[in-house]
Structure 1
Amino acid sequence: MEQSASDLIALCDDLREALIRCRYDADTLLETLGADAHSALGRSEPVPVRRAARDAGDLGTLIRLFLLADTCSRADVAAALHPLDLDRALAAGLLEPDGDGVRAGLDLRPLDTGAGNRWILSDLDGSIRPRPVDADHVIGVGQASLSLLQAIPTDPVDTLLDLGTGCGIQAVHCAGFARSITATDVNPRSVRLAAATAALNGLDIEVVQGSWFEPVADRTFDRVVANPPFVVGSAAVDHSYRDSGLDLDGASELVVSGVPDLLNAGGTAALLASWLHVDGQDWRHRVASWLPDHGIDAWFVQRDVADPALYVGTWLRDGGLDPRDHETQLRAEQWLDHLDGADVVGIGFGFVYLRKIDGPTEVLAEDLSHGFADPLGPEAIAYFARSEWLREHDVVDARFRIEPTTALERVYRPGEEGWQQVVARLHRGSGPAWQHEVDDLAIALVGGMRADGLVLSELVELLAAAHGEAVTTELTTAAAALVTSLVRHGLVLPA
């Protein structure tokens, strides 16, 4: 039976007291389980976790109850949740009766979102204890949520919108840097659980039900974050957390094209999105077409591209379906037929960063599928700052300095006369670890940059003289284009 949001919210103060008393937080969880059992938890292997929690008292009971979906005795759970009354927890749907004992009715897990411990309430995902995935299922701490969480800029803002909040994980994370937060979702169950997640963490977050942009019509924000239902498929909704009811990549197009109207001047957005790779088309042109001609600086970061078969199989398993089942195979056939009918050869996935500007829209869409460790959030803000500088300055009249982590790499292979260079690259050792192939002239040009040195036009003149060449428009234009790309990626910086 569906319970009201007020039932869960009403018990959050007592529940928080119990969680604090038991030290049910991210750091203590790792300390108690140890690295090996904690890794087993991430792999959905319950036995090592259960063994590690065996002698952990009330904390061990909470681990078994909420992280392993075990049935526990009423006495043990009552002791662990004190001062929360067991019957209140059952009535609110936090717990469910199971024979003589009780088990979790909701997933409740600690998470360090970067601003200290938070607790996240969501539906049980079946990873440990198999269970059906309902249409209004509210997904919890999943990989997509975690990737967006790590990619959101955390510089302070006044107002923030979490569009399609789900369980509220992004909203509670953003409370660490945003003064006022509004979270929306079309799913009433998501609204209920997001409101309870906020209350459990003692946060004042406005949570509103409604479809897409309707709940915030005529409002604007300093930042918008969104993990929309971006799964590429037919215009059907099997699970609201992933299916939009819009065909193919229509959900991503709707969000990317609509968010600019929600931004204040200078406001930014961080979004998860998917886009089609259509036979004979450049995916970068596709995503750029989603934006207005004026007013947006956009950075599309493609982190992965999946072939249709892998994509369909992954999302069918995500819905709890067995690929060996005949009905599942029929659905896979229909899904792949739909993609094939649209000439889809791949599905891209990644982040979209937007900034509201006063000028023609600028778009950089690039593939960053290589590995890098630094989060993208701070880099997005730095990227927009560099982009703004480029709009306001002529690079040929400016001085530059080399970013401290930028290195020159040369690759050699054996040849008939010994080692022969095959490529030279400038490689930035921070952020997304960009690389730019360069020739000897470009190497000399960048090597001559000093904060108190020559402006770019003077450097070009010096290099041309050193090589016995005249300074031409073509040479200056090529140097300006090179430096512009290096500045945009942060390998060199304005002095």
Structure 2
Amino acid sequence: MSRTPVTDLAAELTAFFAEAGFTADGLAAHLGPDALDALYRGEPAAVRYATADDSALSGLIRAFILRDPLPATALADLVGASLAARLIDARVAHADPHGTVRLALDIRPHVIVGEDRWVFSDPDAALTVRVPGPDHVLGVGAASLSLLQSTPVTPVDSVLDLGTGSGVQALGQLGAAVTATDVHPRALDLAEATFAGAGADVELLEGPWFEPVAGRRFDRIVANPPFVVGLPEVGHVYRDSGLNLDGASELVISQAPEHLTDGGTAHLLAAWVHTHEQSWQQRVASWLPDTGVAAWIIERDCADPALYVGTWLRDESIDPRSPEADERTRAWLAHFDAHGVTGIGFGFVAIRMIGDQPSEILAEEMPQSFTDPLGPEVEEYFERTAWLRDRTTDEIADARFRPRPGLAREEISVPDEDAGVGFTRAALRLTRTDGPRWSHDVDTHLAAIVAGLHPQGLSLRETAELYAMANGLDEQSLVSAAVPAVVDLVRHGLVMPA
């Protein structure tokens, strides 16, 4: 039995949308680049101007994305009388006594893992004047898109989507047996509709955190939890956990390993505080067990407290000039000051179970811009670190390697101030041109050794010894220095084991 009548009409509605071209690609082609950009910027007037014609697709955009009011007869003309009546009966569309209807939900088309999908959620304040309430169910936002891009989609048997919201992350994992949980009943109502629209059979469980799946383990966990860092209170269910500061991130990161199978992985969005007393790397690493996990913790951004508070107040449509904003800001910043918070970091946490071995935790910043999905990189990172973990220093020295295809050697030169003429080298770097575009400063010796690596050629040791012999360097010293340097290059994928 369905949780709500919205679920019962979801498949029919999304089938109609697909036939009508109300898809992400269809919108892009119909609106054109300028109006599409205006849509993403939250400028409805420009989108409304671009859809002022009488075409069916323009009508669907005005009704379902801009949520413009329209006569009930016009809605029937758009989607058919039967489906229009069902939308009104299910309260997907609200009708007033004068026969005017307006969509009460946001049903937006997206391409998720190469498939056309429609996400059922509450409308936000981007295109209509409204203040999201405490029980608001978020649609597809920047954070959820980031997690989608950083989560692998390779086949596994079982997936847990913790705190599913409107079901966005689960849509990227539908090849597996998916379990979706949430503490918010309304979120599960809308997630059920999202899954029905995708023709997906997903197990829905209600409850907080990992309680609905106590004692169960999964091959993959994805979670976009309510990670907003602040006071221990709940203003909006989708973002506020009721736990102090970064307690929500600590809870999910620390408990995820208990629910992973051997070799299973977790892919999480998280936020953490910076303080003078402890580095953020130490703080987040302390949330993980001493044995059994490999973890890659990536900080993508760090905001100062004032910027952070202002951003989240705008998220709930509070005018930063208002008395309410003044009161909320003072309380929030005072709470940060009381706990020594100097900044708030945000990023990804990937965890892999590695059996009865000491945990390996790398926490690092990734500030560079890139467009490639991070999911394949996360999987490859765990494979690269597993290769390193299984080998001694001598075995690494005696292994063969190859530079990554597309690896670039960059030499940066600046005017030679001492000579007063010409240029002098300021930096020498090896940089990936794919994935997250990692770049490492190297010296001429390491650059030359990497250039000499070949999968059918000499080992790392032999290559370094040959280079040392040709350049009058101590062979053993060069090998001893080259091995840890190449290990760093392997960890970031600039050099690959043959």
For 2:228 and 2:449, how far apart are their aligned partners in 1? 46
Match of 1:469 in 2: 473
Match of 1:293 in 2: 290
After TM superposition, the structure 1 = structure 2 runs for residues 233-382 of structure 1, keeping only pairs within 5 Å, are 233-358=230-355, 359-382=357-380
Question: Which one is further off, 184-193 or 62-71?
Answer: 62-71
Please say if residues 297 and 347 of structure 2, whose CA atoms lie closer than 8 Å, have aligned partners that are also in contact: yes
* Alignment partner of 1:439 out of 437, 443, 463: 443
Please say if residues 11 and 84 of structure 1, whose CA atoms lie closer than 8 Å, have aligned partners that are also in contact: no
Which amino acid letter does the alignment assign opposite residue 478 of structure 1? A
3-state SS of 1:219 partner = coil
Offset, 1:340: 1.1
Please say if residues 165 and 185 of structure 1, whose CA atoms lie closer than 8 Å, have aligned partners that are also in contact: yes
The alignment's TM-score, normalised by the length of structure 2, stands at: 0.95
How many residue pairs match? The answer is: 489
Offset, 1:464: 2.5
* Alignment partner of 2:429 out of 425, 431, 435: 425
Q: Deviations over 1:106-164 (max 9, x none)?
A: 00010011322100000010222212321111011111111111111111111111111
For 2:147 and 2:251, how far apart are their aligned partners in 1? 18
For 1:45 and 1:6, how far apart are their aligned partners in 2? 32
The reply to whether residue 104 of structure 1 matches residue 108 of structure 2 is: no
* Alignment partner of 1:386 out of 384, 387, 394: 384
Question: Which one is further off, 444-453 or 484-493?
Answer: 444-453
Offset, 1:441: 1.3
After TM superposition, the structure 1 = structure 2 runs for residues 70-219 of structure 1, keeping only pairs within 5 Å, are 70-82=68-80, 84-98=82-96, 99-175=98-174, 178-219=175-216
For 1:367 and 1:13, how far apart are their aligned partners in 2? 42
For 1:56 and 1:173, how far apart are their aligned partners in 2? 35
Question: Which one is further off, 209-218 or 277-286?
Answer: 277-286
For 1:326 and 1:449, how far apart are their aligned partners in 2? 64
Please say if residues 15 and 83 of structure 1, whose CA atoms lie closer than 8 Å, have aligned partners that are also in contact: no
Question: Which one is further off, 181-190 or 83-92?
Answer: 83-92
For 1:482 and 1:275, how far apart are their aligned partners in 2? 30
For 2:148 and 2:324, how far apart are their aligned partners in 1? 35
The alignment's TM-score, normalised by the length of structure 1, stands at: 0.96
3-state SS of 2:475 partner = coil
For 1:315 and 1:469, how far apart are their aligned partners in 2? 57
Q: Deviations over 1:213-235 (max 9, x none)?
A: 01111111111111000000011
Gaps of 5+ in 2: none
3-state SS of 1:258 partner = helix
For 1:469 and 1:218, how far apart are their aligned partners in 2? 58
The CA RMSD measured in Å over matched residues stands at 1.4
Offset, 1:351: 0.8
- CA change 1:485–1:159 in 2 (3 A) is same
Please say if residues 270 and 348 of structure 2, whose CA atoms lie closer than 8 Å, have aligned partners that are also in contact: yes
3-state SS of 1:389 partner = helix
3-state SS of 1:199 partner = helix
Match of 1:407 in 2: 408
3-state SS of 1:135 partner = coil
For 1:448 and 1:13, how far apart are their aligned partners in 2? 58
Offset, 1:445: 1.4
For 2:53 and 2:198, how far apart are their aligned partners in 1? 27
Q: Deviations over 1:302-345 (max 9, x none)?
A: 11111100000000110121111112211100000101111111
Please say if residues 33 and 52 of structure 1, whose CA atoms lie closer than 8 Å, have aligned partners that are also in contact: yes
Please say if residues 72 and 95 of structure 2, whose CA atoms lie closer than 8 Å, have aligned partners that are also in contact: no
Which amino acid letter does the alignment assign opposite residue 450 of structure 2? V
Please say if residues 58 and 76 of structure 1, whose CA atoms lie closer than 8 Å, have aligned partners that are also in contact: no
For 2:368 and 2:15, how far apart are their aligned partners in 1? 43
Match of 2:397 in 1: 396
Offset, 1:59: 2.2
Question: Which one is further off, 276-285 or 229-238?
Answer: 276-285
For 1:182 and 1:477, how far apart are their aligned partners in 2? 49
For 1:493 and 1:57, how far apart are their aligned partners in 2? 54
For 1:339 and 1:403, how far apart are their aligned partners in 2? 44
For 2:162 and 2:76, how far apart are their aligned partners in 1? 37
Q: Deviations over 1:274-323 (max 9, x none)?
A: 01111242111111111001111111111111110000000011012111
Offset, 1:374: 1.1
Please say if residues 18 and 80 of structure 1, whose CA atoms lie closer than 8 Å, have aligned partners that are also in contact: no
For 2:317 and 2:283, how far apart are their aligned partners in 1? 32
3-state SS of 1:212 partner = coil
Please say if residues 465 and 478 of structure 2, whose CA atoms lie closer than 8 Å, have aligned partners that are also in contact: no
Offset, 1:90: 1.9
Offset, 1:83: 5.8
Which amino acid letter does the alignment assign opposite residue 477 of structure 1? S
Match of 2:491 in 1: 488
Please say if residues 13 and 83 of structure 2, whose CA atoms lie closer than 8 Å, have aligned partners that are also in contact: no
Offset, 1:267: 1.1
- CA change 1:84–1:141 in 2 (3 A) is farther
Offset, 1:56: 4.8
For 2:490 and 2:83, how far apart are their aligned partners in 1? 59
Offset, 1:52: 2.2
For 1:112 and 1:85, how far apart are their aligned partners in 2? 24
Please say if residues 293 and 358 of structure 2, whose CA atoms lie closer than 8 Å, have aligned partners that are also in contact: yes
The reply to whether residue 52 of structure 1 matches residue 56 of structure 2 is: no
Offset, 1:348: 0.6
Please say if residues 153 and 172 of structure 2, whose CA atoms lie closer than 8 Å, have aligned partners that are also in contact: no
Q: Deviations over 1:358-399 (max 9, x none)?
A: 221101111111111211100000111101111112311101
For 2:64 and 2:84, how far apart are their aligned partners in 1? 15
Please say if residues 318 and 324 of structure 2, whose CA atoms lie closer than 8 Å, have aligned partners that are also in contact: no
Which amino acid letter does the alignment assign opposite residue 235 of structure 1? P
